[in-house]
Structure 1
Amino acid sequence: MTTASTVRPAYREVTDANGRVYRVGESARDILGGPRLLMVILPWVAMMAISVAEYAYGSAEEVLSDAHGWTSTNTFWVLGVWTVFQAAVAFPTGRLRERGILSARGATLIGAVLAGIGFFALSHAPNVPLAILGFGFFGGTGAGMVYSTCVNIVGKWYPERRGGKTGFVNGGFAYGSVPMIFVFTYSFDAGNYHTVLDLVGVYVLILVAICGWFFKDPPKNWWPEEVDPIEHQKNAVSDKAQAKNPPAVRQYEPMEAIRTGMLPLMWFCLVLCSGVSIFGISFQVPYAKDIGFGPLVAASSMGIMSVINGTGRGVTGWLSDRLGRKQTLILVVAVEGLSQFGVLWAGDIRSEWLFLIFAFISGFGGGAFFPMFAALTPDYFGENNNAQNYGLVYSSKLVGGLAGSGLGATVVAAWGYSGAYALAGCLGLASAALALLLRQPGRPSASRVRAGAGGALQVSGETV
């Protein structure tokens, strides 16, 4: 018989030179009942399902306007309100999760139901206010609960190198909509819009709910048993790749993260670049049609944009693990800003092939920054409060969404597409300039880290 004194602890807590605690010894299989790769694949599938609401909406706008008797401004404000709540719900959802009131599974299942309701409301709402309530409020809230849970659960399960996997999951939010873009362009009309939207609602509800059923957060301070946390900290100085993305010095509470000044700076950068991205998503198809390009070019440009938007997130996430998160962020945001001028130029000269090329570039820049912010947040402030901290950063999209969609419609009406695209390009470049100011809070100089890297290891609180 095994006595209590001979039972090995399930985990131990290791404290590094900076006082950061790591919970090591438990495998992902011990906690999940399967490999931690499940917390990459399942969130990725759920993200593809909910991407329909944002990325395919522009392709459905014309039919929605005709079927419901709405103006173009009406339809874009419906999307604008959806974007507001999709972003606004990230922080409260994260706070409930971090306090143990709401599980990752619960957040995703609630989100699945609300996202499905959003499509049913878009199908049957008799007027704009009810469409805003159903699709904008309920649908946006549901999509935001799913999005925020999917993005930050990856960083919790892969704290040692999260960029590529976060980018992969985040990418599903873009290219998952591609089939629906062509459905809404070619097989969506005033005669069948009820059926199509109802079926999309059922598809989103069921697929997200199945994935979310298996979601589970790791314990606070969890660290993969196969990676030594102290050696990982040392390598953050000696290894060129890891030195670009050193782990957070400590676990920051939301108010502590705000007081560093870096979280507000990230928030404002994301306001600008997300506004430009939402503007492109909302107006690229209408702009292509306005300048006389056929429906194939219009749909293809948006399809290309969505595919590259999504795959670009995965590629830049992988690249950021090697070149550095901040450096990659600056690059992609600058590309996003410059590409707006390219789309405008291609439209001015009525060049379909150039329009598709710049749609490609715009799609890359307009999505790749999202996983950079998602990975930078735990890089700077730690994983324990990532659901809340990233929720605060991502809440900036509610301002960017209003500016890019609703306010964008007003700017197009007042200045035309030329003025609107020029303004978007300038805002994108301004965001890249602000990103130059980002730095990791509390990180000592390289010489001080090297001097202290050899000591201050503690092992404490070995518990079952």
Structure 2
Amino acid sequence: MSETASSGQDGRIAARAKEELGFSRWWQVAAAAAMMGLVSPYQYVWSSIQSPLESALNVSPEAIGLVFTLFVIFQSGSQFPVGWYRDRHGPRRLTLVAGVLAGGGYLGLSVATEVWQVYLLYSLGAVGVGIVYTVAVNTALKWFPDRRGLTTGIGTMAFAGGSALVVPYVRANATVGGYPGVLQNLGLVIGLGILVGAVVLRDPPNGWLDGVDVENGDGDGNGESGRNGEGSESDGSRDESAGDPATNGDTRQYEWREMLGTWQFWLMYGMFIGVSAAGLMLTAQIVAFADALELNAVTATASATVLPVAGGVGRLVVGDLSDRVDRERAMAASFLLCGVGVLGTVLFARAGRPLAFVAAVIVATFFWSPQYTLFPSVVGDYYGREHSSANYALLYSGKMWGGVFGGAVVGWVVGAASWSVAFAVGGALAILAGVGALALRPPR
């Protein structure tokens, strides 16, 4: 498609969206991104409150360390039922529930007196985070079939980078006496902010793009099936002469059971696990890794600080780029460079080169984090927009296994071999994911 034609098509989709909403569709992305930023402390600020919680409850590091594993499991595992419900009933009720769970989770933590209470409250908060995450990502997919990479990049960038705004405040009060007040304030802001966002969010009505082709590689135009477009072929049959569904306006709208029948999903699932394993290992273990290899405290702190910033920028930049180039090749390049960056942390840590080590952390995180932009975009490209919430949620469940690697498996490898071996395995998994992306092509 020529640049002029693409611009005209974007304008038609934007105009149709404004007719339905009464305002610019970008407000949908803004509300989704704001909510993503609000819930991001659950993942990125945990390391700052872990120590005072451990001291206040007088429990072992192993006992309190289970909290992050539970977070990953509940945040990832909740997304399929959430996505299934949202595709059928819209985002508003779910988002209201998310506000109660995510805000209430932190409020409850501020007065928790037993470790089991921390497990329960952080898990409930994680479900709230999972709701916000799947609602936000799929709001972009549903309203922006023409700009999937950029708009999912904005939302996931907010999730990665939003916590950077509160890290100084949390760390300044990360004491046994100070953390309850921090959690109470964050809980109130999170809960109220999400409730406001729920008022703004809505899904497109049935057939809102009838007569508007989306043919620039993102493929949802007229002829949508099911609830978002009546009268299409529910059995999935189509005229083979229509060509590649990723490059014309007649993309089949796969339900999750149909998606599971394609080899592309299972290849992407393996890729998702591999890249998540490398990235979550980096997120959870970079300070311990730096300490174990006797890098100075400044290097360890700098590495932890650049993680959310590099991740947020990477999601936006690579996501926008993927709208302009072949998305599968963008995935391959991103994941290969992530693996190279992780292996670089091993090389430079062993060589005692702190500046190069921090640079390798930046490279690895910058190119790992876009998985949360690239995968939902490809799911929309391949399987359509109508069931995107449930479809991407199934793929996102691979994060659970990545989290198991980043926590329990890394701990076992460190005990059996060394930190260097554990990080080298993580880098190799990311490289394998990049190689796998070269085999991807749209299902027929």
TM over 0.5: yes
Residue of structure 1 aligned with 2:91, choices 104, 109, 117: 104
**Residue 369 (structure 1) aligns with:** 371
**Residue type matched to 1:70 in 2?**
V
Shift of 1:221: 4.2
Q: Distance in 2 between matches of 1:290 and 1:308?
A: 23
Counterpart contact for 1:220–1:384, Cα < 8 Å = no
Q: Evaluate the alpha carbon distance shift between residue 368 and residue 138 of structure 1 in structure 2; reply closer, same or farther with a 3 A threshold.
A: same
Shift of 1:126: 2.8
Bigger radius of gyration, 1 or 2? 1
Residue of structure 2 aligned with 1:68, choices 45, 57, 61: 57
Residue of structure 2 aligned with 1:131, choices 87, 111, 118: 118
Q: Evaluate the alpha carbon distance shift between residue 201 and residue 411 of structure 1 in structure 2; reply closer, same or farther with a 3 A threshold.
A: farther
Q: Give CA deviations for 1:316-341 in whole Å, capped at 9, x if unaligned.
A: 11110111211111111111212111
Q: CA RMSD in A?
A: 2.6
Q: Distance in 2 between matches of 1:234 and 1:307?
A: 28
Matched position secondary structure for 1:216: coil
Matched position secondary structure for 2:166: helix
Q: Give CA deviations for 1:271-292 in whole Å, capped at 9, x if unaligned.
A: 1111221111111123334445
Residue of structure 2 aligned with 1:93, choices 65, 69, 82: 82
Pair 1:179-2:165 in alignment: yes
Q: Distance in 1 between matches of 2:175 and 2:320?
A: 40
Q: Distance in 2 between matches of 1:385 and 1:305?
A: 32
Matched position secondary structure for 2:385: coil
Pair 1:211-2:197 in alignment: yes
**Residue 246 (structure 1) aligns with:** 247
**Residue 120 (structure 1) aligns with:** 107
Counterpart contact for 2:219–2:245, Cα < 8 Å = no
Count of matched residue positions in the alignment of Structure 1 and Structure 2 = 409
Matched position secondary structure for 2:323: helix
The 10-residue stretch of structure 1 (46-55 or 400-409) with the greater mean CA deviation from structure 2: 400-409
Counterpart contact for 2:292–2:419, Cα < 8 Å = no
Q: Evaluate the alpha carbon distance shift between residue 289 and residue 235 of structure 1 in structure 2; reply closer, same or farther with a 3 A threshold.
A: closer
**Residue 386 (structure 2) aligns with:** 384
Counterpart contact for 2:153–2:320, Cα < 8 Å = yes
Shift of 1:50: 1.0
Q: Distance in 2 between matches of 1:346 and 1:233?
A: 40
Q: Evaluate the alpha carbon distance shift between residue 395 and residue 128 of structure 1 in structure 2; reply closer, same or farther with a 3 A threshold.
A: same
Q: Distance in 2 between matches of 1:201 and 1:406?
A: 29
Q: Describe how 1:215-226 pairs up with structure 2 within 5 A.
A: 215-223=201-209
Q: Evaluate the alpha carbon distance shift between residue 255 and residue 403 of structure 1 in structure 2; reply closer, same or farther with a 3 A threshold.
A: same
Residue of structure 1 aligned with 2:154, choices 162, 168, 187: 168
The 10-residue stretch of structure 1 (267-276 or 117-126) with the greater mean CA deviation from structure 2: 117-126
Q: Distance in 2 between matches of 1:180 and 1:296?
A: 20
Q: Describe how 1:327-366 pairs up with structure 2 within 5 A.
A: 327-366=329-368
Q: Distance in 2 between matches of 1:298 and 1:68?
A: 26
Q: Distance in 1 between matches of 2:14 and 2:330?
A: 33
Q: Distance in 2 between matches of 1:345 and 1:425?
A: 12
**Residue type matched to 1:339 in 2?**
G
Pair 1:45-2:34 in alignment: yes
**Residue type matched to 2:100 in 1?**
V
Q: Distance in 2 between matches of 1:125 and 1:408?
A: 29
Residue of structure 2 aligned with 1:267, choices 262, 266, 269: 269
Q: Distance in 2 between matches of 1:403 and 1:163?
A: 27
**Residue type matched to 2:247 in 1?**
P
Counterpart contact for 1:244–1:322, Cα < 8 Å = no
